[in-house]
Structure 1
């Protein structure tokens, strides 16, 4: 079966499922907006998360039915659907997102990503992400910041507002710490000291920990490996990925980092970056082991 035809067999039902799920999602979101009472909001939040999890479950089922991809998961974690997690992962491909959703759906709270503000305009999905309280972040160029220094703190305030909403509900805040997908060109430009990773961007992690405080109970350190090379969505739904390997490790949040001032305290920032770099060195070694297994198979 041609790759494009196999991918179409999977993607057409997913598109139809998206349309089916979006209608009740928008209806519940309108009720939530029209009646901003705490009991109503709590009920609507549960319904919204349930609709999103149903949509993800359908997508994951289509991956199972239309591909022969084997998902090999190693877990050193106790997962709770009512937990409060910060999920940190390496980022190689858009495939990472359906992989993470498939591994964690209905096992931890709905994964919520920090999204670029432009993604709000993606048809249907942009409004769905808004309804689910996904935070939209506006990025500014160096030239814009030079002209308007007051813009520099707006992402921090957006992070605080989003985390304020998340403190009252079970949540899994997703952070691709490298800030962008890994490519050989980006790796070379950075002169990254890691074999399989870009340098971690610590600021976003620090701001979430600061904003959530005791509202987070653990970090889920997730490492994703593609032994066959970095895939595309066409590779996934076209059945061209043989194995995906996922390592999940639950880690405590160092108490010394709760309530710290990453932006203004240089000593705190140095300690936090040292911790993140150590985490990333361990992840790089984990990736090397996960990919090395392929050559021995």
Structure 2
């Protein structure tokens, strides 16, 4: 473990290992993705898709390797038993930092199928990573503002169509569909601007989850509700690379798929939309209380330092 080194040096080593790992695996991913693109046959897809997943899992394992080498993080994790890597899951999590994604991948890799994220359209232009996300068929969403949609009503429903098309592909092989219900990372400024009724969370958005459940509800074994807490406060990605993440607490629970909502028309039926929103709000109340309890417990357990 290299965490005893000066933090800038730890950050440099971690960044180099992160980059090397990506540059090694992305060309391999692209080769198989291009084969699938050139030969758009279902049999080819069913042959190539598992290979792409194995490559992505090896890539994530490489990231876990340099994290163990450079980090000295205390992990407090519960709820990883009884997970099935050959099933389908809809994964939900609170969102505070880009570090959340590495935490999720590190803990869930090979315990459940590969996490597939819904990404902002602009991220496809991120060097190297944009190509990797394209190769793995992560859906890219435009997420237009309501003001834009009023001026361009023809664009309304495009993201829903993208979600449905992606879910049709996800149904072919075991997949974990990742959904950050808040839609963006938590910050105190966003929390205040929203006037969020939750102490530790932004307001949840039920639309994405409703679309995924409507498209794949019969496939999902469960909804995995993940809560990530950084007892010392969330940190940015550069500080994470420098080995400054001291503690992270993760709780995972499997929830049954709400069958009474799966077949409902979220977009067209106000009653279904209200039922989804109530279900999500209750989920968020429970998560908010759980985060408060974890933070309180960590404060009580924190050592008393001499003055």
Deviates more, 1:273-282 or 1:230-239: 230-239
Shift of residue 149, structure 1, vs aligned partner: 1.1
- 1:72-129 Cα offsets, whole Å, 9 max, x none, are 1110652111110000000011110000000101111110100011111111111111
What does residue range 13-32 of structure 1 map to in structure 2 within 5 Å? Answer: 13-32=17-36
Task: Could you tell me which runs of 5 or more consecutive residues in structure 2 were left unpaired when the two chains were aligned.
Answer: 302-307
Q: Tell me, in whole angstroms, the C-alpha distance in 2 between the residues paired with 1:78 and 1:200.
A: 27
Provide the rounded CA distance (Å) in 2 between the counterparts of 1:122 and 1:205. 26
* Unaligned 5+ runs, structure 1: none
Task: Determine the structure 2 residue equivalent to 1:36.
Answer: 40
1:225 aligned partner: 229
Instruction: Tell me the SS of whatever aligns to 1:214.
Output: coil
Aligned residue runs from structure 1 range 156-235, under 5 A: 156-235=160-239
- Please state whether the residue corresponding to 2:217 is helix, strand or coil: helix
- Residues 205-235 of structure 1 deviation map (CA, whole Å, 9 limit, x = unaligned): 1111011130212100000000000111122
- What count of residue pairs does the alignment treat as equivalent? 297
Secondary structure, aligned partner of 1:204: helix
Q: TM-score, normalised by structure 2?
A: 0.94
**Does the 8 Å contact 2:217/2:257 carry over to 1?**
no
Moved over 3 A (4+): none
Distance (whole Å) between structure 1 residues aligned to residue 82 and residue 165 of structure 2 = 29
Task: State the alpha-carbon separation in 2 of the partners of residues 37 and 266 from structure 1.
Answer: 40
Q: Determine the structure 2 residue equivalent to 1:69.
A: 73
Cα deviation, residue 142, structure 1: 2.9
1:245 partnered with 2:252 = no
Query: SS state of the match for residue 80, structure 1?
Result: coil
Kept in 2: contact 1:112–1:173 (CA 8 A):
yes
SS in 2 for 1:177: coil
CA distance in 1, matches of 2:44, 2:74: 41
Aligned to 1:220, what secondary structure does the other structure show?
Answer: strand
Aligned-partner Cα distance in 2 for 1:4–1:261: 52
Aligned to 2:304: none
Aligned 1:116-135 pairs, distance under 5 A: 116-135=120-139
Deviation at 1:2, TM superposition (A): 2.9
Alignment partner, residue 94 of structure 2: 90
**C-alpha separation in 1, matches of 2:268 and 2:81:** 34
Match of 2:103 in 1: 99
Q: 1:8 aligns with which of 12, 15, 20?
A: 12
Which deviates further from its counterpart, 109-118 or 142-151?
142-151
